[in-house]
Amino acid sequence: MGPKGSKQSKKKNNAKKQKNAQIEEELEMEKEEVRNQVKILVLGTGESGKSTFIKQLLILHKGGFTHTDRETYYSTIRKNTIFHIIQMINACKSFGWELEKKNLELARKYANIKVNEITDLNEKVVKELKQLWSDSALKTAYKNRHKFHLPDSSNYYLDDLDRIGETDYSPNDKDILLCRIPTTGLNKISFNFGETPWNVIDVGGQRSERRKWIHQFDDVTLIIYVVAINEFNQKLFEDEEVNRLLESLVLFEKTSNDKYFKEKNCVIFFNKIDLFEDKIKSEDLSQCFPDYEGGNDPDEAKKFIKLKFLEAGENESRNIFCHYTCATDTRNIENVFDAVNVSIIENTLKTGGYM
């Protein structure tokens, strides 16, 4: 090969080296970007309040709900309101809570409506629902909702039927926060907290959805586990023999001790604390935990449940932080989220070998 060929070959080699160097630099920059991101996995059983927490992040860090969001919830809220009346009518029949004679025919009409036949609210439907909701038997059903499956927020919508039934009704933030739509698959929200990119992922909590969790553990910065602390006297939708709070405890113990969790800090949100403090006045925690002896004292009950979860998940490889939350209270979630940021900083220092 002559001098000219050698120069061309050398030039090609230099260009190749420069290209490789550029690629390596870009890859390193991508790795650094990933390292600087915060990835949070939100776990918990169904109806624990995970999705409500994600909605709060939309309000706090993404400018709130869009017009499209509100249109989506518009239909769901109205149809769910009718469905909740149907659920309570059926519960009255099952448990022997007798409706007033004047409401029997109307109750039969709604009891025979199939879920896929539920129509939207109109003036006539609103009037009928208000009449049924005023019946003491349905009030008894709502009070005993732990005996069947009825969202805690049902009364919120039924007490405000006139507003929800208006032709120009548009759900406000509280309407949306209290609206229950089961999570299927993944629900992800990304935003900057300060100068740091955050990715928060919520996955369905029903038993059929949990198998998807394992695929989300890679590169997780922190685990948030949400517990509906008020469910100590309720049964699973999937299994009427299983206590909801015990299911949450068993699931936490299993997942927190999985190999993917052992090195991860964890934050437990003991959610629906407002409902818990109201319920514990008349319901004894011993029906869930036979070894509990604190009676109806809410502080004793909270400490007992917290200890159960700490015992189930504590190990030397990570810390578990606990907070009592009300996911529908934006100010509460904002304060708790600031506290979560502290645990993330600690995790970063620990990973970097600084503590």
Known binding residues are 47-52, 152-153, 177-183, 202-206, 271-274, 327
Cα 260–266–268 angle (5° rounding)? 130
Of 45, 52, 87, 221, which is the active-site residue? Answer: 52
Quick check: 94 and 150 in contact, CB under 8 A? no
Q: Cα separation of 144 and 16, whole Å? A: 74
Looking at the chain, list the stretches that DSSP marks H as alpha helix, in order from N- to C-terminal side.
3-35, 50-61, 67-95, 101-111, 123-133, 136-143, 154-158, 161-164, 173-178, 244-256, 273-279, 298-313, 330-351
Burial-class residue 224 by CB neighbours within 10 Å (0-12, 13-18, 19+): buried
Q: In this structure, which amino acid lies at residue 160? A: D
Query: φ and ψ at 168, to 5 degrees?
Result: -100, 25
Of 37, 76, 173, 180, which is the active-site residue? Answer: 180
| DSSP code for 235 | B
3-state SS, residue 190: strand
Both tokens of 42, joined, read: 């939100």
- Count of C-beta atoms within a 10 Å radius of residue 158: 20
Of 37, 206, 216, 330, which is the active-site residue? Answer: 206
Q: Cα separation of 121 and 79, whole Å? A: 7
Of 128, 135, 175, 202, which is the active-site residue? Answer: 202
Cα dist. 238→45, 58, 205, 212, 244 in Å?
11, 30, 11, 18, 10
Annotated binding-site members for GTP: 47-52, 152-153, 177-183, 202-206, 271-274, 327
Annotated binding-site members for Mg(2+): 51, 183
Catalytic (active site) residue 168: no
Catalytic (active site) residue 135: no
Catalytic (active site) residue 47: yes
Catalytic (active site) residue 202: yes
Which active-site residues does the annotation give? 47, 52, 180, 202, 206
